[in-house]
Amino acid sequence: MIKRIIHTSLLVGLASSFVYGANSVHFNAVAGDQETKYEKEFLPSLEDATGFVLADPHEKIDDAYASKYGDPKSPEYDKGYKNTLDNLGFFPVSNDKALHPLLLTHPQLAAFQPFNLLIYKTKAEDVSYIGHIAPEAMLDIVGVGDAQTRKAYTSMFGPLDSYVTKSFGGKVEDKQHATPLPKQPMMHFEISVDKSQDLLDWVEGFQENFEAAFEDKEYVIAGFKNFKEVYADLEMPFDKYEQFFVYGLCHFKFSYEIFNKGRPDAGVFAPCSMYFYIEKGSNKMMVGMPKVANWGAVMDIKDPKKLKAMQDIDNEIVAVMKSLGAKEI
């Protein structure tokens, strides 16, 4: 397989209760263009300072938008193109050591691991925004309701948020939203595993087919993280799972229509993470991913065109997974 850079504790009524005053995103709004400091000074010291590890960074996505959609010579030129961004960068991070015991009890937390520590700046405002989805929103979307796990998960973010403030200052903005999550915020699948062959061979064959199927629909494989390998390297026991990996997916045209057309803050959701795991002794691979429709709720997006595009992406992802033999559950 080519790796490219680029048991649920669901509380009854949890999604429907996620409405008024719920934490949605956390940002530092910092005067000026902070791109160079962020990439050259802040990120190299991030792991030592906070325990968060960077994986598969994607800087200056706005330049790629300009090249693909703003150049009249490009076959995908958008006649309505306007360059609205000075900077848009996706920097997926995770605190693997702190996350370890949580994944052993709540594997669905991998739906936001890694998550995007987003940086963006619009041309209309001399302010850089650095931030991420609020951990409370992540927990509500994946359906984890027990207090102990929620406390452990949210506590991971304290050192990270403090270090951003220490490094950049600015105005801390903890935003809330007033839109309920979808009735079912997650998509879940199971895939039968052929254990008549070597498991690693089967998994690698599935991964090749998975990547090809999504690339055929113009998705970018924007990240890949193998938690089995991570915890083997860290010498932390992870034998509960025979396989556990996460893909980052991005549909470039869809992202352009959202992020370059008024809502770069929704980039906190990008790339979309889809997790896969096989428990020891099981003949099923379990798969999960937050629905893109969550973007509209958490970010209070009202534009009907954008909302329809989100639903279309969700429908397409389900269709692709079914074509790969996945059963929706």
Q: Token pair of 106, please?
A: 């709540």
Outline where DSSP puts E strands in the chain.
22-31, 53-54, 85-89, 92-94, 115-116, 118-122, 127-133, 171-177, 186-192, 219-226, 241-251, 272-279, 284-290, 327-328
Of 222, 220, 293, 299, nearest to 262 by C-alpha is: 299
Adjacent-strand bridge partners of 192: 284
SS3 content of the chain, % helix, strand, coil (to 5): 40, 25, 30
Q: How far apart are alpha carbons 326 and 319 in whole angstroms?
A: 9
pLDDT reported for residue 37 = 98
pTM of the model: 0.92
pLDDT reported for residue 195 = 87
**Which residue's entry shows tokens 């003949």?**
283
Would strands 171-177 and 241-251 be described as parallel, antiparallel, or unpaired?
unpaired
Q: How far apart are alpha carbons 279 and 44 in whole angstroms?
A: 35
- pLDDT tens for each residue of the chain, 329 residues long: 433 333 333 333 333 344 445 789 999 999 999 999 999 999 999 999 999 999 999 999 999 999 999 999 999 999 999 999 999 999 999 999 999 999 999 999 999 999 999 999 999 999 999 999 999 999 999 999 999 999 999 999 999 999 999 999 999 999 887 789 999 999 999 999 998 899 999 999 999 999 999 999 999 999 999 999 999 999 999 999 999 999 999 999 999 999 999 999 999 999 999 999 999 999 999 999 999 999 999 999 999 999 999 999 999 999 999 999 999 99
pLDDT reported for residue 23 = 86
pLDDT reported for residue 57 = 96
Q: Token pair of 273, please?
A: 């993470």
CB 249 within 8 A of CB 272: yes
**Which residue's entry shows tokens 């096989």?**
278
CATH number of 14-328: 3.30.310.70
pLDDT reported for residue 13 = 35
Q: How many CA atoms lie within 13 A of 66 on its CB side?
A: 10
pLDDT reported for residue 24 = 94
Cα separations in angstroms, 240 against 105, 190, 236, 256, 277: 10, 18, 12, 39, 10
Q: How far apart are alpha carbons 77 and 314 in whole angstroms?
A: 25
pLDDT reported for residue 136 = 96
**Residue 222 phi, psi dihedral angles, 5° rounding:** -95, 0
CA gyration radius for the chain?
Answer: 19
Q: How far apart are alpha carbons 114 and 91 in whole angstroms?
A: 9
